[in-house]
């Protein structure tokens, strides 16, 4: 199991605390420093069952500068969104946990972290 975090994010710290309390075996990826490639973002999106615009933080300054709210949200625009996430990792919603069963969750709540844990052998 891997968790993509920003250490400055309270939701990320909360998720890590819960994982530790449950004795989970996981790897931390500080995705602002170890930026995911476009292919890694696509793989996580497939695991999440989501589109890139579903995990984009549209209120961030970078998003406003890029005008993301105006971008089309369709199959033809998918690569453009993925590229933006790879070039501006601050835009990626966090934390994201990839579970051992091949799925992933955006773990912004304790329930979502528990869901990821239920899909992983502890």
* Residues recognised as catalytic: 9
- Report in angstroms the alpha-carbon separations of 121 from 1, 14, 99, 116, 117: 9, 20, 9, 10, 7
Place of tokens 């406003």: 64
| Cβ proximity of 113 and 97 under 8 Å | yes
């Amino acid at each position: 199991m891997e968790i993509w975090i920003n250490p400055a994010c309270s939701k990320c710290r909360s998720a890590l605390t819960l994982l530790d309390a449950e004795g989970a075996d996981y790897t931390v990826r500080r995705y602002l420093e170890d930026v995911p490639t476009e292919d890694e973002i696509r793989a996580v999106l497939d695991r999440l069952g989501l589109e890139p615009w579903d995990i984009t933080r549209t209120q961030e300054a970078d998003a406003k500068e890029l005008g993301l709210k105006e971008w089309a949200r369709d199959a033809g625009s998918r690569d453009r969104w993925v590229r933006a996430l790879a070039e501006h990792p601050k835009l990626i919603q966090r934390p994201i946990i990839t579970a051992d069963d091949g799925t992933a969750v955006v773990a912004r709540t304790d329930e979502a972290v528990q869901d990821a844990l239920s899909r992983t052998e502890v």
